[in-house]
Structure 1
Amino acid sequence: MIAHSVDDPLYYLHNFRQVLLWVESRYADLLDEQESAFIRTFAELAQPAQALLVRMVMRKGELFRSDRLEYTEIGDTAQALQPLMALGWVCEPAALSLEQLFHLLRKDELAAGFAEHLEKPRAAKHELLQQLQALALAPRPLAEWFGCVSVRIVQWCLQPLCDRIRLLFFGNLYQDWSEFVLADMGVLRFEKVPFSADSRALQQRSEVDQAIALHQCVERLEQGEAPATILTTLASLHVDNAWLARRHARLLFAVGQQCERLGDWDQALSVYARSSHAQARIRQVRVLERSERWAQAHMLALKLAAAPANPLEVQALERMLPRLARKLGGPPQPRRRPAPLQLIELELPREQAALGVEEAVRQHLAQAGGQVHYVENTLFNSLFGLLCWEAIFAPVPGAFFNPFQAAPQDLHDSDFQQRRTAYFAACLGRLDDDSHRQAIVECFTAKQGLQSPFVFWSMLSQALLEQALACLPAAHLKQCFLRLLQDIRNNRTGMPDLIQFWPEQQCYRMVEVKGPGDRLQDNQLRWLQFCAEHGLPVAVCHVRWSAA
């Protein structure tokens, strides 16, 4: 499958053809008769008609002015439209609402056409619309609105069909066609993941329809529809597919958040209880607290604290439990004393502030010896990505939909590791027999430049890699990688800014840098406490600038 350069004026058409070929070859058994016929018929169209169709698919909306469909590489638009209209894929709309008309026509065209109805014809366009909306004018054909406009309006009629094709290719509907063709796929290189029938996320036609229904619910929620009506729709969807079940859980969590915003506490509790989202349990405690049901909130918090699901729950509960105990009239509750952190207090010349606080500290520490690098979240993520490359790009169902994915679709799902247990066991096992260094170096060489959700190629030099592998103990790497896998979305950030290596002694230190007035964020605090608890050398450096 070859992506075409955007230097080719028909790059978008070539890529769209590849999408259709890919979907037809991978999902032929899931396509309905209309979709299969569309793919066949599209291939038989003349190139100008194909190109014009793709241009309309890529643009927002379904209604277009014909004079705004002029493209040099297509040529005569009217001629290109003819076969599309003969097929019924494009038509002239039977009726246009006033709002649609205002979206399509220019202000001067509207002012001339509605001159007899406007009290203030020179007002702004949105004010003209307000004047006419008061008349409650019914939708009608363009010719019946007024005959003085020479423009032709056409409607693209197969958007739902193309949305289903887009879903099968991308695995979602938040990526659009323009994102696909502008992804510089001729420049970016991707891992070649084996695609088998078993690795497909969707195995039945009904699951395609369910995926579309879930996406429509998301859109309805974003547009402000009442949670109750969305929950009614969700109740009619019987989702057995694991990939869809995860999306169902995320949608339930979003509905619960909307219920919270509306102050519908009971509904929010009910929805969160049905969601397997990683934060759903802690939100239940929060809802009980916000609705002043202190005893229930305290009881649930104690239950969760006995078996927390993730570090975020631990951190949240450490703050909630003392607060809830006070609400119930109990004595002040001592908070868990965090492990002590090594502190570095630095006063640096004010002129170094122009370097940035991290670079100023890096240069200062380098003067004391060792090799100091600004890595923040890049180094440990990159080492993890190289060691666990095989696991990350494993062809598990629902992970990869097309050959142009930089990351598996379920990367941030709570069962990401569980679905690849054997793969991760093999990769992390190399840290136990000291074969991880060779594995990382070989992957660094073999996969150089391929897209990865973890590897930062631009910062991972050969020298930095060699220093890291020489100085970072395998046991420390394993602890960090296991923590990363617990919650990839939240744990892949918050790592210390700097790392200092002493290659001769084969040791290291991480340093989190804070300038004047800067404070540690929650994700940084969690990483620092993790390092302190597991014996990873880390320090927090507070910087102030000298007055001189």
Structure 2
Amino acid sequence: MIAHSVDDPFYYLHNFQQVLDWIELRYADLLDDQEQAFISQFRQQPQAARALLVRMVMRKGQLFRPSKLDYAEIGSTQAALAPLLALGWVVDDSPLSLEQLFQLLRKDELAQGFAERLERPRAAKGELLAQLQALELPPQPLQQWLPGFAEPIIELRLQALCDRLRLLFFGNLYQDWSEFVLADLGLLRYEQVAFSADSRALRQRSDIDVALALHQCAELLEQGVALEQVVGHIECLDSDNPWLLRRRSRLLYQLGQHSERLGDWPLALRIYPRSQHPQARIRHVRVLERSEQWAQAFELASQIARQPANSLEVQALARMLPRLQRKLGGPPQPRRAKPQVSLVELQLPAELAALGVEQAVQLHLGQGGGQVHYVENSLFNSLFGLLCWEAIFAPLPGAFFHPFQSAPQDLHDAEFHGRRSELFARCLGQLDDGSYRQTIRRHFVSKQGLQSPFVYWQVLSEELLEQALICLPPAHLKSCFERLLEDIQANRSGMPDLIQFWPEQQRYRMVEVKGPGDRLQDSQLRWIEFCAGHGLPVEVCHVHWAP
């Protein structure tokens, strides 16, 4: 599928038709009668009618004034509307609330039309609405509100249907039709992945209903609807689709976090056990602890400790278990030994504070020799993404299901690495035989600018890449990449801020920078401990500003 050139005035129509063709080819068995009829009838309509419909679908809202639907390539709006009205895809006599009317009409039109009901017709538009709201007038068609008004209000009746089609194509409702335009303009470019018959996010009709319901629940959460009500909706949703289960777990985790912020411990304890989010088990223990259910918290923490799922759980339990044992009257527990990390206390001129603490240290270190780069998480992630490009974008069933994906849909699954273990083994094996540099350089050129979940193109210059390939030992890269694959979601962040290269000596060091009053985050502590344990040179620099 190729985004149609925006040089064609009907580019949006061609793109929309491509989506319909794609859906009909890949999801025909999931379409209901209404959706099948729409796809079939759409092709049969005049070009102007089809174009106007797509224009409305791509705009915000469902109510339009014909005078605002003026497009040069379409011509007469009234002529283009006629087939759509005949099909019932749009209507011109829908009941409108006062609030809808005030969104669509100008102040002078409203003041004139409601002159007999307004005590202060010259007031601001918002006050005019307040005056009429006090009358508690029911919704009614425009011609009953304002008889003889110059033009109708058109309501699009297909928005829900088109949202379902968009869901089938993108697998989500946060991507929209602008993806085609961005792709055509070259602002967003994607790896071209082969699609198999199994490359579908939604596998049965009920999946569509669950996906839409989850999206609605997320919107309710954003709107501030009572958490108990949102949780009730989610608990009624069930699916065996792994993709939908991940979404459900992520949403439940967000609800659990909201419950904690509100101090609603019973609701949080109801939510977290139902979520498979990587941090849900630890949050469950934490809520038990905060609600002073020490015994239950200790029991769950001990259970997790017997088989921790990731390094985040290991780190959290190292703090929780001794604390819980003390609460239960147990003997004092020895503190876990902190990793031996080189600490640097650095006092810098106060005028450098305007640069930001990381850039100030970067400037200072650069004065002593070597090349210093502010990379944070970008460098090691990018090198991993370039070396393992084929494994990441392998066309496994269900990993990719539309042409505008920047990452496989199972990227954060526990099975992501396992499903591609042989592919990743071949990629990482290049770090043993020395061919990794050639592969990384080749992909740096051939994949330049393509969307990737790992490669930071805006940061990774050719100079930085070459210095990294010269100075970073392959054994160190392999250790970091293997850790990344253990838990991509947790381990792709927390890497040190700065890296300093000495190409002539083929050596480097990483520096985590902390300003006054700042402290290391958990993800940073885990990376620093890993580096210290695997011989990767890392320092923590505490900055103080000179008085």
Relative to the length of structure 1, the TM-score reads 0.90
Which residue in 1 is equivalent to 2:136? 136
Q: In structure 2, how many angstroms separate the alpha carbons of the residues matched to 1:444 and 1:191?
A: 13
**Equivalent residues in 2 for 1:61-210, closer than 5 Å:** 61-147=61-147, 149-183=149-183, 185-210=185-210
Amino acid at match of 2:368: A
Which residue in 2 is equivalent to 1:214? 214
Which residue in 2 is equivalent to 1:308? 308
SS in 2 for 1:35: helix
Distance apart, 1:455 and its partner CA: 1.3
Q: In structure 1, how many angstroms separate the alpha carbons of the residues matched to 2:288 and 2:511?
A: 39
Cα offsets for 1:514-547 (capped at 9, x unmatched): 3445443333233222212222100122334445
Q: How many percent of aligned residue pairs carry the same amino acid?
A: 70
What RMSD, in angstroms, separates the aligned Cα atoms of the two structures?
A: 2.8
Whether the 8 Å CA contact 1:511–1:539 is kept in 2: the answer is yes
Q: In structure 2, how many angstroms separate the alpha carbons of the residues matched to 1:392 and 1:119?
A: 67
Which residue in 2 is equivalent to 1:49? 49
SS in 1 for 2:450: coil
Whether the 8 Å CA contact 1:67–1:152 is kept in 2: the answer is no
Distance apart, 1:162 and its partner CA: 0.7
Which residue in 2 is equivalent to 1:427? 427
**Equivalent residues in 2 for 1:466-481, closer than 5 Å:** 466-481=466-481
Q: In structure 2, how many angstroms separate the alpha carbons of the residues matched to 1:94 and 1:165?
A: 24
Whether the 8 Å CA contact 1:4–1:185 is kept in 2: the answer is no
SS in 2 for 1:495: coil
Cα offsets for 1:240-277 (capped at 9, x unmatched): 22222222222333343444455543343233212211
Moved more, 364-373 or 83-92: 364-373
Q: In structure 1, how many angstroms separate the alpha carbons of the residues matched to 2:124 and 2:331?
A: 64
Which residue in 1 is equivalent to 2:4? 4
Q: In structure 1, how many angstroms separate the alpha carbons of the residues matched to 2:236 and 2:376?
A: 46
Which residue in 1 is equivalent to 2:494? 494
Which residue in 2 is equivalent to 1:242? 242
Whether the 8 Å CA contact 1:278–1:414 is kept in 2: the answer is no
Distance apart, 1:335 and its partner CA: 3.7
Q: In structure 2, how many angstroms separate the alpha carbons of the residues matched to 1:65 and 1:201?
A: 37
Distance apart, 1:381 and its partner CA: 0.7
Cα offsets for 1:289-336 (capped at 9, x unmatched): 332323322332233234322232233334444554554466765542
Whether the 8 Å CA contact 2:3–2:183 is kept in 1: the answer is no
Which residue in 1 is equivalent to 2:542? 542
Amino acid at match of 1:136: E
SS in 2 for 1:509: strand
Whether the 8 Å CA contact 1:325–1:331 is kept in 2: the answer is yes
Amino acid at match of 1:83: P
SS in 2 for 1:490: helix
Whether the 8 Å CA contact 2:259–2:268 is kept in 1: the answer is yes
Amino acid at match of 1:507: R
Q: In structure 2, how many angstroms separate the alpha carbons of the residues matched to 1:121 and 1:412?
A: 58
Which residue in 2 is equivalent to 1:17? 17
SS in 2 for 1:36: helix
SS in 2 for 1:543: strand
Amino acid at match of 1:143: Q
User: 1:225–1:542: structure 2 CA closer, same or farther, 3 Å change rule?
Assistant: closer
Amino acid at match of 2:471: C
Distance apart, 1:32 and its partner CA: 2.9
User: 1:226–1:148: structure 2 CA closer, same or farther, 3 Å change rule?
Assistant: same
Amino acid at match of 1:274: R
Which residue in 2 is equivalent to 1:454? 454
Q: In structure 1, how many angstroms separate the alpha carbons of the residues matched to 2:186 and 2:301?
A: 52
User: 1:540–1:128: structure 2 CA closer, same or farther, 3 Å change rule?
Assistant: same
Relative to the length of structure 2, the TM-score reads 0.90
Whether the 8 Å CA contact 2:501–2:509 is kept in 1: the answer is yes
5+ residue gaps, structure 2, are none
Q: In structure 2, how many angstroms separate the alpha carbons of the residues matched to 1:217 and 1:351?
A: 49
Moved more, 126-135 or 161-170: 126-135
Which residue in 2 is equivalent to 1:416? 416
User: 1:537–1:86: structure 2 CA closer, same or farther, 3 Å change rule?
Assistant: same
Q: In structure 1, how many angstroms separate the alpha carbons of the residues matched to 2:134 and 2:322?
A: 57
Which residue in 1 is equivalent to 2:369? 369
Distance apart, 1:53 and its partner CA: 1.1
Q: In structure 2, how many angstroms separate the alpha carbons of the residues matched to 1:330 and 1:248?
A: 38
Whether the 8 Å CA contact 2:183–2:189 is kept in 1: the answer is no
Distance apart, 1:407 and its partner CA: 1.9
Distance apart, 1:482 and its partner CA: 2.4
Amino acid at match of 1:23: I
SS in 1 for 2:431: coil
Distance apart, 1:9 and its partner CA: 4.1
Whether the 8 Å CA contact 2:56–2:62 is kept in 1: the answer is yes
Amino acid at match of 2:362: R
Amino acid at match of 2:94: A
Whether the 8 Å CA contact 1:385–1:454 is kept in 2: the answer is yes
Distance apart, 1:129 and its partner CA: 3.1
Whether the 8 Å CA contact 1:375–1:499 is kept in 2: the answer is yes
Moved more, 518-527 or 268-277: 518-527
**Equivalent residues in 2 for 1:516-531, closer than 5 Å:** 516-531=516-531
Q: In structure 2, how many angstroms separate the alpha carbons of the residues matched to 1:514 and 1:251?
A: 33
Q: In structure 2, how many angstroms separate the alpha carbons of the residues matched to 1:139 and 1:329?
A: 66
Cα offsets for 1:72-121 (capped at 9, x unmatched): 33222111111111111111243122222222223333333333333444
5+ residue gaps, structure 1, are none
Which residue in 2 is equivalent to 1:505? 505
**Equivalent residues in 2 for 1:323-472, closer than 5 Å:** 323-325=323-325, 327-328=327-328, 334-353=334-353, 355-472=355-472
